Amino acid sequence: MKNEKNTHGLLNNLKFMLHEQWVFEKKATVIPFIRILSDLAVALMGIWLPKVVLDAISQSIPVHVFLTQIGLLTVALMLLKYISYYSEQGVLKNAVRIWNVHFYIKKDWKILDMDYSIFTSPKGKILIEKAHDSLSRNVNVNMASFYPKLVELVRSVLGLLSFCAVIAFLNPIIILLLLISYGIDGLISLNIQKWEHSIKDKRATIDRKLYYVFDSTNNSSIAKDIRLYDMKSWINHAAKSFMNEKNTLEKQVETKHLLQRLFEAFLIFIRNGGGYIYLIWKMLHTDMTVGEFTLYFGAISGFGLWLHQIVRTINGLSNASCKVDDYRNLMDTKDKLMRSEGEQIPALNEPVEIVLENVRFHYEGSDQTIVDDINLTISKGERLAIVGVNGAGKTTLIKLICGLLEPVSGRVLMNGMDIRRFNREAYYSLITAAFQNVCVLPMSIAQNITFKDESDIDTEKLEKCVELANLKEKMDRLPKRYSTQLVPSVVDDGVNLSGGELQKLMLARALYKDAPLIILDEPTAALDPIAENQMYLRYSELTNNKTAIYISHRLSSTRFCDRIIFVEHGKIIETGTHDELLARGGKYKAMFDVQSQYYKDYIEEKAI
């Protein structure tokens, strides 16, 4: 996988975020900087106002002048506070939430659109997990907090500089001492931050395991197994053990933070105490006024707050920058398959030819060869059956033909052209498939079959596909027929279809797409014998004018195919028609005999 770069650097991330936000929403990118100016003015007035009041009292200036000064300053202060409030609460906070959703949608789109081989690879899963994490927590700490933290940093640095200027009048050495004390504090925080970053992968792995187990309790597809196999205590035990792992790690994090806070409190005590002692000494030994005392003390403690804010913001910013990295690492992932630059495929009205040349494959992170040097030609319009024991590599072979996985070596050709050269979407449009996994969305049955808006659906074609898939009778029994919504857990008046009905729906979906290559992976596994028989009888109609690949464990069904290949350990070990393979007396026959034995026994029993 290309682009495995982990960190882009703070400045680069800054450029990236500014660009993304500027393109998405300009006003919210600019307005927060107004807050910086108003906040600075408020802060300076905050330490200056007490001086004005105290000096006025000690110099006995006329009351009306004093009240006018205070009144004007108070009005200015209120105005500036309102500007700060509006730019932060009214603009920035809202913008952050919107930016978060914007990044979230872009991330989800990327996941939906990325190459299947990357999506399913262990590395891809980690990239997705991290990118998801970078956006899923509170917007004050996740990646979207990068910009507010940046605004905060600029504000704090300018605030610090302006307070430095005030303190410099008193004694510049104080600035140095304060800097050293806060520097120590900052280094400790940064160290903890780095450590937290180093355990990020470990944290993500534990969370992944834990939430997988939690999700299983809500997963209706395994709810039956949980009850019948009494998996409660097993799941509970797994959850507890992952939870313990998580707790141990989180305790380590908490302990480090606690120690840091204790040390920080100690430094605050030293700093403020030292500041008081020095200013009292100045009052006693120089002509410093009470007003100046409050001004300088305000500046010293304010200096600390600004610096503290800077350290905290740098921590937050570096944390947010790591999250921006996680997001960008996913977004920068390059697909291997061609997109716009790939060759377009001319509209095909005839079946396609598929050729596999010395195709080898193993999954990423595993040495086990799953497809082992396969050479195979599937002629135009041929109906090929792939059979073999569990784990032989049948589904993997199909995924290679579909271009969902890429061979480690060798090539897959469609009508003589390496499929890697095609535009990915154009190639996928040639393939229709009914896999074992059922995927339905909370929409109408018609939409679930066609993946089109109601107004774009070709009703006549839909009816025909439903009829061919043997689902018409069910449709006629539903009051809303094709408009019936699926997924009742999400939709109020939704209905649940049985396993067999869902399988028929998958078949209707494959037929509606009407592509020149049709792949049926165990299409009768959930069907009753009558429905299965009907499907066999209609097999030639279903695959009419198409190249068809059929995976099945029921060997009686493969006799409807032109050719059968028997796969074992990723190799084709037998090939021929049903009768040829039976005559050969090899593994296919052995498997067929085992299956047919039960039918024979049953027929003989009936005959007695």
Ligand X SMILES: Nc1ncnc2c1ncn2[C@@H]1O[C@H](COP(=O)(O)OP(=O)(O)OP(=O)(O)O)[C@@H](O)[C@H]1O
CB 427 within 8 A of CB 345: yes
Please report whether residue 370 would count as binding ligand X according to CB under 6 A: yes
In angstroms, the CA 579 to CA 556 distance is 11
Q: Site for ligand X (CB under 6 A): which residue of 46, 90, 273, 391? A: 391
The one-character DSSP state at 87 is: I
In the complex, the smallest distance separating the C-beta of residue 564 from ligand X, rounded to whole angstroms, is 14
Q: Which residues contact 387 (CB under 8 A, 6 or more apart)?
A: 394, 551, 552, 553, 555, 558, 564, 565, 566, 567, 588, 591
Please report whether residue 393 would count as binding ligand X according to CB under 6 A: yes
Residue range at the interface with ligand X (CB under 6 A); choices 284-292, 352-360, 390-398, 458-466: 390-398
Identify which of residues 333 and 396 has a Cβ nearer to ligand X in the complex.
396
In angstroms, the CA 101 to CA 46 distance is 37
Q: Site for ligand X (CB under 6 A): which residue of 156, 319, 333, 396? A: 396
In the complex, the smallest distance separating the C-beta of residue 103 from ligand X, rounded to whole angstroms, is 28
Report the candidate in 374, 379, 365 with the shortest Cα–Cα distance to residue 398.
374
Q: Site for ligand X (CB under 6 A): which residue of 363, 461, 571, 582? A: 363
Q: Do you know the residue count of the chain?
A: 608
In the complex, the smallest distance separating the C-beta of residue 591 from ligand X, rounded to whole angstroms, is 12
CB 103 within 8 A of CB 13: no
Identify which of residues 218 and 390 has a Cβ nearer to ligand X in the complex.
390
Residue range at the interface with ligand X (CB under 6 A); choices 163-171, 297-305, 383-391, 482-490: 383-391
Strands 571-576 and 563-568 come out as: antiparallel
3-state secondary structure at position 265: helix
Residue range at the interface with ligand X (CB under 6 A); choices 7-15, 246-254, 393-401, 452-460: 393-401
In the complex, the smallest distance separating the C-beta of residue 395 from ligand X, rounded to whole angstroms, is 3
CB 545 within 8 A of CB 381: yes
In angstroms, the CA 480 to CA 467 distance is 17
Identify which of residues 233 and 366 has a Cβ nearer to ligand X in the complex.
366
Identify which of residues 120 and 217 has a Cβ nearer to ligand X in the complex.
120
Identify which of residues 134 and 552 has a Cβ nearer to ligand X in the complex.
552
* DSSP per residue, 300-332: HHHHHHHHHHHHHHHHHHHHHHHHHHHHHHHHT
In the complex, the smallest distance separating the C-beta of residue 436 from ligand X, rounded to whole angstroms, is 7
Identify which of residues 370 and 517 has a Cβ nearer to ligand X in the complex.
370
Residue recorded with tokens 């050495």: 173
Identify which of residues 393 and 407 has a Cβ nearer to ligand X in the complex.
393
Structure tokens at 525: 């596994």
Q: Site for ligand X (CB under 6 A): which residue of 40, 337, 356, 392? A: 392
Please report whether residue 520 would count as binding ligand X according to CB under 6 A: no
Identify which of residues 481 and 553 has a Cβ nearer to ligand X in the complex.
553
CB 515 within 8 A of CB 432: yes
Identify which of residues 414 and 565 has a Cβ nearer to ligand X in the complex.
565
Identify which of residues 393 and 500 has a Cβ nearer to ligand X in the complex.
393
Q: Site for ligand X (CB under 6 A): which residue of 138, 340, 349, 366? A: 366
Backbone phi, then psi, for 418, in 5-degree steps? -55, 125
For CA atoms 18, 24, 30, 36, give the dihedral sign.
negative
Backbone phi, then psi, for 295, in 5-degree steps? -60, -50
In angstroms, the CA 1 to CA 365 distance is 12
Residue range at the interface with ligand X (CB under 6 A); choices 77-85, 384-392, 424-432, 531-539: 384-392
Structure tokens at 561: 């195919």
Stretch 523-582 residues interacting with ligand X (CB under 6 A): none
3-state secondary structure at position 39: helix
Identify which of residues 149 and 563 has a Cβ nearer to ligand X in the complex.
563
Q: How many CA atoms lie within 13 A of 278 on its CB side?
A: 15
| Residues 92-131 as x/- pattern, contact with ligand X by CB under 6 A | ----------------------------x-----------
Please report whether residue 369 would count as binding ligand X according to CB under 6 A: no
Please report whether residue 193 would count as binding ligand X according to CB under 6 A: no
Identify which of residues 362 and 481 has a Cβ nearer to ligand X in the complex.
362
CB 551 within 8 A of CB 398: yes
Please report whether residue 170 would count as binding ligand X according to CB under 6 A: no
| Residues 319-358 as x/- pattern, contact with ligand X by CB under 6 A | ----------------------------------------
In angstroms, the CA 475 to CA 55 distance is 89
In the complex, the smallest distance separating the C-beta of residue 397 from ligand X, rounded to whole angstroms, is 7
Number of residues that bind ligand X (CB under 6 A): 12
CB 547 within 8 A of CB 371: no
Report the candidate in 585, 598, 588, 510 with the shortest Cα–Cα distance to residue 553.
588
In the complex, the smallest distance separating the C-beta of residue 119 from ligand X, rounded to whole angstroms, is 10
Please report whether residue 394 would count as binding ligand X according to CB under 6 A: yes
In the complex, the smallest distance separating the C-beta of residue 515 from ligand X, rounded to whole angstroms, is 21
Burial class from Cβ neighbours inside 10 Å (0-12, 13-18, 19+) for residue 214 reads: middle
Residue range at the interface with ligand X (CB under 6 A); choices 345-353, 388-396, 507-515, 524-532: 388-396
How big is the CA angle at 530 (ends 524 and 532), to the nearest 5 degrees?
A: 20
Q: Site for ligand X (CB under 6 A): which residue of 69, 260, 301, 395? A: 395
In the complex, the smallest distance separating the C-beta of residue 30 from ligand X, rounded to whole angstroms, is 47
Tell me the residue type at 308: H
Report the candidate in 365, 388, 539 with the shortest Cα–Cα distance to residue 469.
539
Identify which of residues 276 and 363 has a Cβ nearer to ligand X in the complex.
363
Identify which of residues 366 and 489 has a Cβ nearer to ligand X in the complex.
366
Largest CA distance in the chain: 125
In the complex, the smallest distance separating the C-beta of residue 302 from ligand X, rounded to whole angstroms, is 58
CB 392 within 8 A of CB 569: yes
The residue ranges that bind ligand X (CB under 6 A) are 120, 363, 366, 370, 388, 390-396
